[in-house]
């Protein structure tokens, strides 16, 4: 007798409209070199424990959750909550709500720390970019540079009785945040992320700069936090453009304004 599908999956199968999130995740599922990345991480991932211990979550599930965190700027607890809320994300991660465990925030945190401890975050992005280049998805001449804050729990009511030492507090506008920052360099033409760095939230965006450029840009787009006379002078030259992105007053998107200088 065949297994009946869980109701959320059945409801999703009957749906006619494909959302932008579903389309994006389907494209990423096809383009990311999963087998290569799994082989890269597998030697460092815990195997099944002694008899009777709870087995670890499948490595591919944890890797896919890690990518979801990066794509959607999700903290560890928010990643867990979003997996419960989103059928599209569960399907991408290979999880069925009805019969599989969903990784909790501690499991997600431990996986992220494992990648960082073994220097695998940089290796993952280098491998993905090499794979995209092999597929003919190459970097163009422009780079968009920006940073985003990823919230983390600030409470000390946990087993360790302390906040995550890799996180810190920062003020943005009139609000305070606790967590980390993801600093990202994006190809201006294709939207492909070609560089990523992380830091505590208190580190100023402008201190992570050289690592976000691939070196062959003829244009760089960044908000005013990155602007300095030294950087503009270093980038100055025929055919080169420095664009300052400014937020529109009545829209959430950033509008690039260029005149060849920081103006």
Is the pLDDT at 96 greater than 90? The verdict is: no
pTM for the complete prediction? 0.56
For residue 251, pLDDT over 90 is answered with no
Helices (H), the chain: 7-14, 20-31, 34-41, 59-72, 76-85, 87-93, 105-117, 120-134, 229-235
Across 7-25, average pLDDT: 70
43-60 burial, b at 16+ Cβ within 10 Å, e below that, comes to: eebeeeeeeeeeebbbbe
How far apart CA 137 and CA 28 sit, in angstroms, is 13
Instruction: Examine the pLDDT at 6 and tell me if it is beyond 60.
Output: no
- The more confidently predicted of residues 212 and 124 is 124
Q: What is the pLDDT of residue 88?
A: 92
For the stretch 154-191, pLDDT in tens is: 666 666 666 777 778 787 777 777 888 877 888 776 66
> What is the predicted pLDDT for the residue at 135?
66
């Amino acid at each position: 007798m065949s297994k009946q599908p869980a109701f959320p999956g059945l409801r999703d199968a009957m749906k006619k409209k494909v959302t932008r999130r579903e389309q994006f995740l389907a494209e990423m599922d096809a383009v990311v070199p999963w087998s290569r990345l799994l082989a890269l991480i597998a030697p460092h991932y815990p195997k099944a424990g002694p008899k009777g211990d709870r087995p670890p979550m499948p490595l591919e599930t944890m890797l896919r959750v890690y990518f979801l965190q990066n794509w959607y700027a999700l903290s560890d607890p928010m990643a867990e909550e979003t997996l419960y809320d989103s059928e599209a994300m569960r399907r991408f991660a290979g999880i069925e709500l009805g019969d599989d465990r969903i990784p909790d925030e501690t499991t997600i945190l431990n996986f992220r720390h494992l990648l960082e401890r073994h220097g695998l975050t940089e290796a993952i992005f280098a491998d993905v970019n090499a794979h995209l280049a092999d597929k003919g998805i190459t970097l163009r001449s422009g780079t968009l540079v920006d940073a985003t804050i990823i919230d983390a729990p600030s409470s000390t009511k946990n087993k360790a009785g302390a906040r995550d030492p890799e996180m810190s507090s920062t003020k943005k506008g009139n609000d305070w945040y606790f967590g980390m920052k993801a600093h990202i360099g994006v190809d201006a033409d294709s939207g492909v992320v070609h560089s990523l760095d992380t830091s505590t939230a208190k580190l100023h965006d402008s201190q992570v700069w050289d690592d976000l450029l691939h070196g062959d840009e003829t244009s760089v787009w960044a908000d005013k936090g990155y602007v300095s006379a030294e950087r503009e002078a270093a980038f100055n030259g025929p055919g080169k453009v420095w664009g300052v992105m400014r937020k529109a007053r009545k829209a959430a998107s950033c509008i690039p304004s260029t005149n060849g200088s920081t103006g």
